[in-house]
A = this chain, B = another copy of it.
Amino acid sequence: MKITRVVTADVRFPTSVDLAGSDAMHPDPDYSAAYVTLETDGDLAGDGFTFTIGRGNDLCVAAIAALGRQLVGVDVRDLERDLGPIARSLTNDTQLRWLGPEKGVIHLAAGALINALWDLRAKAAGVPVWKLLADLSPVEIVALVDWRHLTDALTPEEAVELLERAVPGRAERERRLLAEGLPAYTTSAGWIGYPDDVVAARCADVVAAGYRQVKIKVGASAEDDLRRVRLVRETIGPDIRLAVDANQTWEVAEAIERIRQLERYDLAWVEEPTSPDDILGHLAIADAVEVPIATGEHCQNRVMFKQFLRSGAMEICQIDACRVAGVNENIATLLLAAKYGVPVCPHAGGVGLCELVQHLSMFDFVAVAGDQPGRIIEMADHLHEHFLHPVDIRDGRYRAPAVPGFTSTMHAGSIAAFRFPDGPVWSGR
């Protein structure tokens, strides 16, 4: 069975209308997927995507098409052996890498394609991606990673040892995963565009639904932030964890001052306090405040994760399934986080990011970091209905997917309806 065609789609949801997804830096997002299907001459296809917030989704689609050409002709059986080298060749095209290197549009596109390859490989194997990964040997896992520019922090040999130590506990953790799932928190209660009464009502709802952590957006005026954080803390009571997300809005000194004002409300973490590129700025903030500093959703590649994790600037590691070059590069980050003892709490506010990233957390739980205190996965409660196999959350916990693949397949009807600019949802505007 060979890949015969790379089919792309520019799918956009008009979320800016009701401000779902709004934050201090992104007041009007239209949650979008630069979607790709790897068609084969057999009865399987691999689906993947990268997430954007509207304008520019077309650039990612074009980059996916450009990079994807090299996948035509790949034999699906060879993915078992070659997914490491293929992923490296997608991120190291000798001319395209100039556009990054390994960042921005070209890297988002590589992520979509590499995730689609994993969907295809897992479908061919008849297992979900988390299970496929969790059953690989340490040596097989390590061979998936591009080790270039990582070895000052972690060598392949050390990574094999780290993974070997987790092997004896894999079966017991898999049993627990299947029985109990992994904990989720929700961001859907506190988008920055929501008025106070909506935030309070939604927080009450999600606690009633079994969530043990909520997250709200901050980064507006100091008064607004304080009022919202106090309101939510009063609504959810002292036993539910509360995280806040500043979405990059603060200067370093300002972040320290603002976080100190909010600390009294017992925060689980403060997310993206300043520029996502500012390793040394995050480190200064982390050193100055008690609350753990979280970041990662805009962290462009494994070299940045290496520095953030090793220096102590990232105290909660928020991997994103699509921002870096897909599963393979995320494995590098999971290994680094495990080495430095940093909990991985993925970013999933976006279209389909929950569906994808749950697999990575489940793999991390079973076969990499194991039973880590503080492990929790973001859940943003919208747009799941467009996927064939939406996430299954019960009592505030992600349940392990059982269907083969990456649960990354969108309904054909959703793609047709929301296709930009010619689908009926957009052409009528």
* Residues of A that sit less than 8 Å from B by CB: 25-30, 52-56, 58-60, 62-63, 66, 93-108, 148-149, 151-152, 248, 251-253, 274-281, 284, 298, 300-301, 303-304, 306-307, 310-311
Contacts and interface: CB of A to CB of B under 8 A. Distances in A.
Of the candidates A66, A298, A303, the one having the most CB atoms from chain B within 10 angstroms of its own CB is A303
A77 to B, nearest CB: 29
Contact of A95 (B29, B63, B66, B152): B29
Contacts of A28: 94-95
Given A95-B55, A98-B53, A99-B105, A277 B304 contact: yes
A95 B279 contact: no
26 contacts: A26-B98, A28-B94, A28-B95, A30-B95, A52-B95, A53-B98, A55-B66, A55-B95, A56-B66, A56-B95, A56-B98, A59-B59, A99-B105, A101-B248, A101-B298, A103-B103, A103-B104, A104-B106, A104-B107, A105-B106, A148-B251, A152-B251, A277-B307, A279-B307, A280-B307, A281-B303
Contacts of A280: 279, 307, 310-311
A277 B251 contact: no
A149 B59 contact: no
Contacts of A277: 102-103, 149, 300-301, 303-304, 307
Contacts of A148: 251, 275
Contacts of A108: 99
A276 B94 contact: no
Contacts of A59: 59, 62-63, 66, 99, 105-106
A99 B62 contact: no
Contacts of A151: 251-253
A46 B227 CA distance: 49
The 6 closest A-B pairs by CB, nearest first: A104-B104, A152-B252, A54-B95, A105-B105, A55-B95, A149-B275
Contacts of A103: 100, 103-104, 277, 300
A264 to B, nearest CB: 25
Contacts of A95: 26, 28-30, 52-56
A252 B66 CA distance: 32
A406 B27 CA distance: 36
A312 B103 CA distance: 24
Given A149-B278, A304-B277, A94 B27 contact: yes
A273 to B, nearest CB: 11
Contacts of A284: 152
A6 to B, nearest CB: 16
Given A26-B97, A59-B66, A281-B303, 10 more contacts: A26-B94, A58-B66, A103-B103, A104-B107, A105-B106, A149-B274, A149-B277, A149-B281, A277-B303, A279-B280
